[in-house]
Every structure is written in C-alpha cells, then in structure tokens.
Amino acid sequence: MSLSPDLQLKIAALARDFASRAAAHDEAGSFPFENIKLLSEAGLLALVVPAALGGAGGDLRAANHVVNAIGAGEPSTALVLAQQYLFHFRMLRNQAFPPALAEQIARSAVTDGALCNALLVEPEQGSPIRGGLPATTARRVEGGFRLSGRKIYSTGSVALRWLAVWARTDDSEPLLGGFIIPGGAEGVSIEESWNHLGMRASASHDMVFEDVFVPASRAIDLRAPADLTPPDDAATAWIATLFSTIYDGVARAARDWLVAFLHARAPSNLGAPLASLPRMQDAVGAIDALLYVNRALLADIAGRCDAGLPPPARESSFMKLAVTNNAVAAVSKALEVSGNPGLTRHNALQRHYRDVLCARVHSPQDDAIRLNGGREALSVPPISP
C-alpha cells in the first residue's frame, strides 16, 4: 500500500504538532491523549484494519512510515501506535481468534479510535520470551474464567479499550493463552507506577486484575506450554520493524536538532558557525551513514514481507539489532559533539537520548538475538520461549 501524498503531508504535520508538546509530556510524565485523538481523526489508528472493516488496509511499509514519522515527533505516541498495529495484525490473521470478536475490536478502532494492547510482562517473570509460566491466573468458573494477576509495562494503560492478558489456567496441567478484557471491566485497575528515564509519556503503568470475569468465548488459543510456538516469520518481521522504527525516528529527530544547532551556534573565537568545522561535518556524516543503513534495512524487511516473502525470523531480528544499535550510536554521537548544550534540559537532544536508550529493552534483546542467530548458524537448537 502506498500512502497518498496528501496523507504523507498530514502525517508530517501531525508529527510536528506532537513534537511541539513532547517536552511538556516528558516533563510531566503525562499521557498524550490529544495526540491519540488526532491520530484517530486522521484514520491512523485503523491503518492496518482491512478496508472491508472500514480501515485503510495498510501493509507493513505503510505502518513503518507512520510509526517512524510519529516517533520523530513524540515517541511514546509512536510506541502506542506500534502496539495498536501489532495487535490488529496478529489478531486478524489468528485463526483461533473468534471472528465476531476480531471484527468488533477492529471496527471499534475505526469508529471510536479504540486502543488495544497485549499485556505480557510480570514483576516476577519478566518478559515471557525468556520462558516460565505467568503468575496471572484464570480460574475456571461457570461460563468462563475469573482472572487475577498483575501486568507491568502496560503501554497506553490509561487509554486502552481492549486488553489481551497473557495468563495461565488453574488446571492441574495449566494451559496458556490470551484473555480478552475490556479496559474498563469490573476488577481492572491501574497503578501509576511508570517513572522511567525515557518514553515517559507512554503510561506504561501496572495493570491489576482482581477476579475479573472473562467469558469462555474470550479465552484465545489456550495451549499447553509444550505446544506453544514462536511468532512466524511474518509476525516477527512486523514486531521487529515497528519497534525498531520508533527509535530510528528518535535518532532522526536528534540528527535534525544537531544540524540546526551547528548552523545556529557561532562561537566568537571561531567567527563562523560550528557547521563550518570539519570535525562537525564528519560527525554529521557518520550519523547520516548510520541512518541510511537503518532506512535500507527497514525498507528491505517491510518490502519482502509485503511481497508475501517474509524473511527468516533471524534476519528480522538481526535487522532489529542493527537498527536499534545504530539509532543509539547516532544520538550518542550527536550528544558527544554538541557538548554541554546537548545535555541541557531545555534542549531536546537530552530527551532524544533518554528515549532512544529504551530501544534496548524491547524483546528479543540483543543477547538473545545474537545467541539464537549463532546457534542457528552452528546447527544448535535455538532457545525458544
């Protein structure tokens, strides 16, 4: 899918508008409700919803473009958007997901701008990709389940309409799966625990579930732990692309800040802007080289996936490894050459640096990517979730 020129201009204008409020949201740690409203009005919350359900029918290239642009403007908003696209993409191709429920969730994004997210991480377990059973438990009752537990790092918590909560059943041999819960259901509460260095506007708070009733029809794809399978190649491509492109967007914003700073700052002892110095020209060239590689890698994975030939999962993971590390390196280089102004609170660069460091925490993390890539190359069985 190609985004129309008018829509591309609209996305760029939204990114600039979001950037104008990014510092205030970062300072307060406040959720950008106004950004979400504007994305909804532009139809971008339903970008990957099929046209038959009222959405735009966007593919991975379109989603990458939007998330990257919004990431440059306000990355916490881009993270919420990436989670939205991933939820819709995986839900709509999951044959175990009840079709009527999938249609209801998808159409709610079109008509009401409803946000959704999958809640996976727990205080004791960490990310489920590292293995182990969740502590969140669904107790069997008449007509369904009663679910209790706690999820941390629940991005967009204060605005979510639909939650897919990863949990275990209370059977003697537990089954694992997703339990679909409306955000405002009885027994669901939020503890505003998110107080991180970066991505401060993402409202990634704790969500607590106390005996929440879930109808049996909303328990999705329950399986024994031994029967779980990792995401397929297409899902891996979407996950790796959309999380990586957020931080490439952050790095591009940092690069643009540095270029403007180097043109504007003209020390009296130099008598010319800092942009005239070969050392600064070299630094910007190094940053642009990193970002060129990022653009090529993101386009390659997205293009192959949209052509129906998703790359092997290891290649998508290697792309994530390269793009996120290049983004961190690019912002670090900008910080290095800008000196004290780059660390000054009223300048945006220090915020970009804090935000880009969050690229390192998204699963799979760098060590897992390298380890499983090496094990595959050496014909050693991978470490699976």
Whether 297 is in a domain gets the answer yes
Q: Is the pLDDT of residue 26 over 80?
A: yes
**pLDDT attached to residue 384:** 53
Question: Does 142 share its domain with 242?
Answer: no
Residue 361, domain member (yes or no): yes
Q: What is the pLDDT of residue 136?
A: 97
| Same domain (yes/no): 264, 371 | yes
The conformation of residue 158, written as its DSSP 8-state character, comes to G
Q: Is 383 a member of any domain? A: no
SS3 content of the chain, % helix, strand, coil (to 5): 55, 15, 30
Neighbours of 336 (CB within 10 A): 10
Percentage of residues in the chain with pLDDT exceeding 90? 93
User: Helical H runs in 265-377?
Assistant: 278-306, 313-338, 340-343, 349-356, 366-377
CA distance linking residue 373 with residue 314, whole number of Å: 6
- Say yes or no: 238 and 369 in one domain: yes
DSSP-derived 3-state class of residue 218:
helix
- 26, 68: one domain: yes
Pairing of β 160-169 and β 176-182: antiparallel
H or E element, residue 116: strand 115-119
| Structure tokens, 77 | 């908003």
**Domain identity same for 303 and 345:** yes
pLDDT tens across 58-77, in order?
999 999 999 999 999 999 99
CATH number at residue 237: 1.20.140.10
Among 113, 139, 171, identify where a domain stops: 113
Kindly report the number of other CB atoms within 10 A of residue 150's CB atom. 19
pTM of the entire predicted model: 0.95
Residues 345 and 294 in one domain: yes
Which of 171, 179, 113 has its CA nearest to residue 149?
179
Residue 349 belongs to a domain: yes
The CA-to-CA distance between both ends of the chain, in Å, stands at 33
Q: How far is CA 351 from CA 36, 85, 257, 286, in A?
A: 21, 25, 11, 21
**Domain assignment of residue 52, yes or no:** yes
d(CA 320, CA 298) in angstroms, rounded, equals: 9
User: Within this chain, do residues 18 and 76 fall inside the same structural domain, yes or no?
Assistant: yes
pLDDT tens, 40-60? 999 999 999 999 999 999 999
Task: Judge if 92 and 126 occupy the same domain.
Answer: no
Average pLDDT over residues 305-309: 97
Q: What is the mean pLDDT of residues 153-177?
A: 97
Domain range enclosing 140: 119-226
List, for residues 248-287, the tens digit of each pLDDT value: 999 999 999 999 999 999 998 898 999 999 999 999 999 9
Per-residue confidence (pLDDT) for residue 130, from 0 to 100: 60
Q: Assess contact for 209 and 149: CB atoms under 8 A.
A: yes
Nearest to 334 by CA among 352, 322, 359: 352
- What is the average pLDDT across 173-179? 97
Compute, in degrees rounded to 10, the torsion defined by CA atoms 249, 324, 49, 308: 120
pLDDT at 362: 93
C-alpha to C-alpha distances, 160 to 203, 250, 347, nearest whole angstrom: 10, 24, 31
| Residue 318 CB coordination number (10 Å) | 18
Please name the residue that has the structure tokens 């209801």.
104
Q: Alpha-carbon Rg of the chain, whole angstroms? A: 21
pLDDT given for residue 383 in this prediction: 61
- Rounded Cα–Cα distance for residues 70 and 81 (Å): 9
Do residues 25 and 69 both lie within one domain? yes
Q: Tell which of 205, 226, 247 closes a domain.
A: 226
Confirm whether 385 is domain-assigned.
no
Going 11 to 352 to 154 to 207, the CA torsion angle's sign is negative
Residue 385's pLDDT is 44
Buried b (16+ CB within 10 A) or exposed e, 230-258: ebebbbbbbbbbbbbbbbbbbbbbbbebb
Residues 48 and 68 in one domain: yes
The helix (H) or strand (E) run that includes residue 104 is helix 99-112
Q: Is residue 341 part of a domain?
A: yes
368, 251: one domain: yes
Residues 237 and 372 in one domain: yes
Residue 384 lies in a domain: no
pLDDT of residue 124: 84
- Strand-pair partners of 213: 146
pLDDT tens digits along 102-126: 999 999 999 999 999 999 999 987 5
> What average pLDDT does this structure show over 343-369?
95
Last residue of a domain, one of 113, 136, 166: 113
pLDDT > 60? residue 212: yes
CATH code of residue 147 = 2.40.110.10
CATH code (residue 27):
1.10.540.10
For the chain, the domain total comes to: 3
